[in-house]
Amino acid sequence: MANFSKSNVPQFSVEVYQNAFLPEGGREVNAIVTVTSTGGGTTGGIPLAGSGPAYGTGPGAAVVLMVDCSGSMDYPPTKMRNARDATAAAIDTLREGTLFAVVAGTHVAREVYPGGGRLAVADAHTKALAKDALRGLSAGGGTAIGTWLRLADRLLGPADAGIRHGVLLTDGRNEHEAPEDLRAALESCAGRFTCDARGVGTDWEVKEVTGIASALLGTADIVADPSGLADDFTRMMENVMGKEVADVALRLWTPVGVEIRFVKQVAPSVADLTGRRTEAGPRAGDYPTGSWGDESRDYHVCVRVPQAGIGQEMLAARVSLILPDPSGAGAPQTLSQGLVRAVWTDDMAASTSINPQVAHYTGQAELAQVIQQGLEARKSGDFDGATAKLGRAVQLASASGNQDTARLLSKVVDVVDAATGTVRLKAKVAEADEMTLETRSTKTVRVKK
Amino acid sequence: MSQSHQQPALPTCPGCEEPLDAGDRFCGACGHDLSAVPTGPGDRPTMAVAVPPAGQAAEAGPGDAGTPDAGAPRAGAVEGGAVRWPAAAETDSSDVPAPVHSPADVPGTDSDGRPLTGPGAESGGGAGAAPGGPAHEEAGAVRVRHDHRAAPGGGTATGAAADAGGAARTTGDRAAAVAGAAPDGAAEPGGDPDSGDFPLAAPDPRTAEHAPAAPAAGEKVCVACRSGRVDPDGYCENCGHAQPRERDHMEQELDTVAAVSDRGLRHHRNEDSFAVSSTALPDGSPAVVAIVCDGVSSASRPDEASAAAATAANEALLAALPRGTHPQQAMHEAIVAASEAVNALAQEPAGAMGHDAHRHQNAPACTLVGAVVAGGLLIVGWVGDSRVYWVPEDRTRPTARLTEDDSWAAQMVAAGLMNEAEAYADDRAHAITGWLGADAYELEPHTAAFKPDRPGLVVVCTDGLWNYAESGEEMAAAVPADAQERPLHAAQVLVGHALDGGGHDNVTVALLPFAVGPDGAGSARESV
């Protein structure tokens, strides 16, 4: 991961793709904002000079691993063993100096290592102790994920770390607490740490796991076969170790009279951020994006501007990446910014053309939506509705070159003609395939160049 | 509108209420001609009624005074207009953002007292014009130029009022009231222009409450909402409105040449450019240069192309003419130099904004038309569809268009495939067949030399003007009779003519008065 040829200071760049030209009377402005961060994961654990504690490298990172130890983890018994192995692999991946803890989750949360409400500092010795402690894990009890998250928050809260991250593994439904309890736990944890969530096997609820990941700005995935857990955990942990900057927010400033229709992350996956706005001064609001390593993400911003005459031009929105002052007292740092404009023209060729990026991601967002609607319809027995929605999904996935999603779809439907979206529902669908499709429905591909 | 955001002491545009700086000649928000509005200390607005026009007034006044048509447009400047001023102030300007057309509304400026034929002329006095300002018409518009911009405030509001009062003796009090109170009076009808006049509606003051109530002195304030500061990108921090750019309206005047360029009413930026200059031939006789370029909108960065071409051609001529190069040869070389300058732009990366992405990054391109008056010769050169017209001072003599467009329509007509009416009615009429730019097929600079035998005016313009005055006769009709003496004013009038016509394109015109020496010989065309 490390690339020593690059600058030590993370660089954010913002590019705006849009057709700024509106016809007379046009009011809706769409733009795709591509944010690219480079420079993450390059310091090999050495704190960046003068960068302050917000840059979480080495000692700046803290991770809590939450392992489901409910009774169901013993069916089959390999599941518990695989979970232990995967957690051990994740511990191995921890960079020296990273703060970490392991939590066993049942209907209550229990500290497995190091215990005493503390975090351990990763080195060869502590890693070995942690792996020893894992051997003591056994399955038994219920599932109350909210309690796990609250314990993780208590452990991570006092940690002097820029990157605060959780990894949550579950194999079952959140049966031993009310949904409101989980929601409340997520609300209290949101913005305090990020969390990846994994469902192992097929007895868990997709919406619960994806909900946790989206609330805590992490990734969600299915590990249908427990033997794949170790690889997945290693990858996930490498990704966390590559994070360089935490708590980055997308700030959207809009002029008076401009209303925001939506703000969505559209790559690498679709996540609607519209409702997650926190006000940040006059006409500006921050949308959380979590922590960043070497990566690039795309956002779709849609605003409605006041009507204006031909030849007028206005700034429809100013998009910037904001890093809050670590002490919370100073002014936030603007990492980079881009402008979304609106220009009214009577040149029809200019105003009617749709920006390729906007068109592409509009399609990708629809793809995620029709997959979810199609699977929902299928579950509720509306097979005509499911066929129509999943047919549309096949059409969109094939047209946009989203191979992964197309392959997942082909396990749920028989494709007659991808171009027209003609499909038949498969009579028999493996539960794992359906859950995989649902979990990964929000994955998008970028515009073909 | 929120009066609380407005410092009452500041003068405001009568068209849209936007605050003005002392040196402004046009309203930055709506393009309204402010030249005549008493903008307070530092300006010398209504001076013009008495000063340069004083000669005219003296000329026209006696003749007019007794004539029955005292209320007719031309008399407006002296008496009739003054009488009507209050009425004009109450008249809402129009549906379009009050453009820079007011000079055209000013019939009284004719030195010989003839009414102008411009659209504004018929409306009578200032009645058809935007509130207040235009009635003063020629005031500063005529005489306020770049070099006079910071003229120390000899003529203050007091002076202005005095002038107005003096000019319109019988109704001095009312004129003075208008002249002196324009800023206040303008605030009153402001509610109307804000909603009706200004398309990008000024924001509801209730929603603008967060805006800095009074931006610090010296800070730029948004021309649209007047409550937001202007950010470094040139947009308002409150309403997001794009601020006028330097190129939106440009004027320049030298002793023997003047040029005006305007964004027009339908384009979001000015892609035209011009350069005017004067130098001397080796024998010491003067040489005057005017270059006008029109960026090709379907290419990327047309604004940069036109600016580069105008600058390069002008510099080439300024280098060649003093060396004794024949002006026609110099013009040819200047076009080649301009072409190279535009070609060089194709290698540069596009601006970071990337907002021209939909234009597929065509190589920057523009047209060019130039005129040189030197040694009794008139040299013209062009590529594309920008034009030169000849308008003799004696309007009874024939006018002429001196250029042949590189356009689809012109080629059709030249090939005898269509008549002019048919060709210009076609959708493809304006497709140009020659331009400067890296993707031009082959550069074919056209040049021609003329030896006019009588004084006249050389009109160098883009299609933003000639679309509204296509034939030589139409162009001559649009040119004020005193254009020879007041080329800048005449250029303003011509731009106003195009804006009145709809201002669908950027408008640029340069005017070179051509004088003939005592030995003025017959005209000879040494065409290439």
- Domains in chain A, start-ordered, CATH in brackets? 11-40+247-347 (2.60.40.3670), 58-241 (3.40.50.410), 356-439 (1.20.120.1690)
Question: Across the interface, which of A314, A345, A355 has its CB nearest the CB of B241?
Answer: A314
Show which of residues 307-326 on chain A sit within 8 Å of chain B, judged by CB atoms: 307-316
Which residues from A are below 8 Å from B359, CB to CB?
Answer: 350
The CA distance from A103 to A148, in Å, is: 7
User: Other CB atoms closer than 10 Å to residue B395's CB: what's the count?
Assistant: 15
Name the H helices within A136-190: 145-156, 179-189
pLDDT in tens, chain A (449 residues): 444 444 445 789 999 999 999 999 999 999 999 999 987 544 444 444 333 333 334 447 999 999 999 998 888 888 898 899 999 999 999 999 999 999 999 999 999 989 889 999 999 999 999 999 999 888 989 999 999 999 999 999 988 888 999 999 999 899 899 999 999 999 999 989 999 999 998 889 999 999 999 999 999 999 888 888 889 999 999 999 888 888 899 999 999 999 999 999 998 999 999 999 999 888 999 999 999 988 999 999 999 999 998 989 999 999 999 988 776 667 888 889 999 999 999 888 889 989 999 999 999 999 999 999 999 999 999 999 999 999 999 999 999 999 999 999 999 999 999 999 999 999 899 999 999 999 999 999 988 65
Which residues from B are below 8 Å from A20, CB to CB?
Answer: 355
- Measured between CA atoms, the residue of chain B closest to residue A23 is B266
What pLDDT is recorded for position B168? 35
pLDDT in tens, chain B (528 residues): 444 443 444 455 555 555 555 555 555 555 555 544 333 333 333 233 333 333 343 343 333 433 344 333 333 333 333 333 333 333 333 333 333 333 333 333 333 444 434 333 333 333 333 333 333 333 333 332 333 333 333 333 333 333 333 333 333 333 333 333 333 433 344 334 343 344 444 444 444 444 444 455 556 788 888 888 888 888 998 889 998 888 999 999 999 999 999 999 989 899 999 999 999 999 999 999 999 999 998 888 999 999 999 999 999 999 999 999 999 999 999 999 999 999 999 887 654 444 444 445 678 999 999 999 999 999 999 999 999 999 999 999 999 999 999 998 888 888 888 888 888 888 888 889 999 998 887 899 999 999 999 999 999 999 999 999 999 999 999 999 999 999 999 999 999 999 999 999 999 999 999 998 655 443 333 333
DSSP string, B434-496: --EETT-SS---EEEEE--SS-EEEEEE-HHHHTTS-SHHHHHHHS-TTTTT-HHHHHHHHHH
Residue with tokens 């439904």: A173
Cis peptide bond prior to A47, omega within 30° of 0: no
Which residues from B are below 8 Å from A345, CB to CB?
Answer: 266-268
Contact B75, B49 (CB under 8 A): no
Question: Across the interface, which of A258, A283, A345 has its CB nearest the CB of B268?
Answer: A345
What pLDDT is recorded for position B175? 36
Measured CA angle at A27 (ends A23, A31), to 5 deg: 95
- Measured between CA atoms, the residue of chain A closest to residue B238 is A255
Domain boundaries, chain B: 3-197, 200-244, 246-349+361-514
Buried b vs exposed e over B153-170: b needs ≥16 C-beta within 10 Å?
Answer: bebbbebbbbbbbebbee
User: Other CB atoms closer than 10 Å to residue B366's CB: what's the count?
Assistant: 35
User: Other CB atoms closer than 10 Å to residue A279's CB: what's the count?
Assistant: 9
Question: Across the interface, which of B242, B264, B269 has its CB nearest the CB of A314?
Answer: B242
Residue B463: CA atoms inside 13 Å, Cβ hemisphere, count?
A: 23
Furthest-apart CA atoms within chain A: distance in Å: 73
- Measured between CA atoms, the residue of chain B closest to residue A258 is B239
Beta-carbon contacts below 8 Å between A and B: 97
Cβ separation of B199 and A309 shorter than 8 Å? Answer: yes
What pLDDT is recorded for position B109? 35
Cis peptide bond prior to A59, omega within 30° of 0: no
What the block records as the tokens of B26 is 């046009």
Which residues from A are below 8 Å from B358, CB to CB?
Answer: 19, 21, 350, 353, 355
- Residue A239 at interface with chain B, using a CB cutoff of 8 Å: no
Helix (H, G, I), strand (E, B) or coil at A438: helix
Q: How far is A313 from chain B (nearest CA, A)?
A: 5
What pLDDT is recorded for position B192? 41
The CATH H-level superfamily of B246-349+361-514 is: PPM-type phosphatase domain (3.60.40.10)
B279: β partners: B287
Helix (H, G, I), strand (E, B) or coil at B172: helix
The residue among A18, A33, A256 with the most chain B CBs within 10 A of its CB, best to mutate, is: A256
Cβ separation of B208 and A346 shorter than 8 Å? Answer: no
Q: How far is A310 from chain B (nearest CA, A)?
A: 5
Cβ separation of B357 and A314 shorter than 8 Å? Answer: no
The CA distance from B83 to B168, in Å, is: 8
What pLDDT is recorded for position B232? 86
- Residue A103 at interface with chain B, using a CB cutoff of 8 Å: no
The CA distance from B38 to B46, in Å, is: 7
What pLDDT is recorded for position A5? 43
Q: How far is A307 from chain B (nearest CA, A)?
A: 6
What pLDDT is recorded for position B439? 87
- Measured between CA atoms, the residue of chain A closest to residue B231 is A315
The CA distance from B398 to B486, in Å, is: 21
Contact B257, B288 (CB under 8 A): yes
What the block records as the tokens of B5 is 């955001």
Q: If 0-12 CB within 10 Å is exposed, 13-18 middle and 19+ buried, where does residue A296 land? A: middle
What pLDDT is recorded for position B66? 38
Which residues from A are below 8 Å from B238, CB to CB?
Answer: 255-256
- The model carries a pTM of 0.70
ipTM: 0.73
- Among A138, A140, A141, A189, smallest CA distance to A168 is for A189
Residue with tokens 């926190």: A278
Helix axes A403-410, A356-379, angle to 10 degrees: 20
- Among A433, A386, A390, A379, smallest CA distance to A415 is for A390
Show which of residues 15-74 on chain A sit within 8 Å of chain B, judged by CB atoms: 15-21
DSSP string, B37-93: S--STT---THHHHSHHHHHHHHHHHHHHTSTTTTSGGGGGTTHHHHHHHHHHHS--
Under 8 Å CB-to-CB from B439, ≥6 apart: which residues?
Answer: B299, B346, B362, B363, B365
What pLDDT is recorded for position B34? 53
Strand pairing of B446-450 and B377-383? antiparallel
- Residue A343 at interface with chain B, using a CB cutoff of 8 Å: yes
Question: Across the interface, which of B264, B268, B297 has its CB nearest the CB of A313?
Answer: B268
